[in-house]
Chain A
């Protein structure tokens, strides 16, 4: 990414979370991945941290607070609404996509099952958010 701030991964599936971390390592992406398993814990992290993330990777289908609800809260927050959010999900549902974009996501990628394709998706995200400026 453009800067060294951490990347917040909001993902309830432990295997997918490990795949993201593994992809970051394989691609030598220097940003630390901060993993939270649902929207509630992710909001708590944002509230308490002195190291705000430069990017949020967000799953949609999670227990307790799903991705759309998290997105609504984050985008209402003056302090956090600038952080670009990229959805990384298995949901191909048209309503989820429309809702996510209406709430201001800066990307929406489907999670591939195949690991190499997954790495390719993470690479696309890293390349774009390395060329793009980020709010600091």
Chain B
């Protein structure tokens, strides 16, 4: 995983945002973390061709206005963006949500633990896996 490519976090809960930032710090994850509290802003960011594409998106399901799955479906409709893998990071363990996320080609679905150390372990697993995966390197 190129460490100069950012990881996007699409999440509206401030506590979860802080936990993710803390996990990144403690795990010494080198990729810049960009936070978007709404899907509109995240999509605008992705469509901005002046900025480097992220290598990964961490995506909450329950975000006001546009849901995480709707965002997934939308950005996957763009030829320039559809390769970017998204990992759902959510409190929902409903099979219906899981099915829908994978239907729209989520590349993982993690239920957020309440305990910070367990949450950090989930972030560690995500980072380990995607660090070992080959990713395309399209010209921005």
Cβ-defined contact, B136 with A97, below 8 A:
yes
Cβ-defined contact, B109 with A98, below 8 A:
no
Size class of B's contact patch? 20 to 34
Q: Residues of A within 8 Å of B, CB-based: how many?
A: 29
Cβ-defined contact, B135 with A101, below 8 A:
yes
Total number of A-B contacts with CB less than 8 angstroms?
Answer: 82
B residues in contact (CB < 8 Å) with A: 76, 79, 82-85, 87, 93, 95, 98-99, 102-103, 105-111, 122, 125-126, 128-129, 132-138
- State the Cβ distance, A68 to closest chain B Cβ, in Å: 13
Cβ-defined contact, A102 with B82, below 8 A:
yes
A6 to B133, CA, bound (A): 22
Cβ-defined contact, B95 with A104, below 8 A:
no
Query: A98 is contacted by which of B76, B95, B103, B138 (Cβ under 8 Å)?
Result: B138
Residue of B nearest to A86 (CB): B133
- State the Cβ distance, A48 to closest chain B Cβ, in Å: 22
Query: B129 is contacted by which of A98, A107, A135, A136 (Cβ under 8 Å)?
Result: A107
A135 to B108, CA, bound (A): 10
Cβ-defined contact, A94 with B136, below 8 A:
yes
Report which residue of B109, B137, B138 has the largest number of chain A beta carbons within 10 angstroms of its beta carbon.
Answer: B109
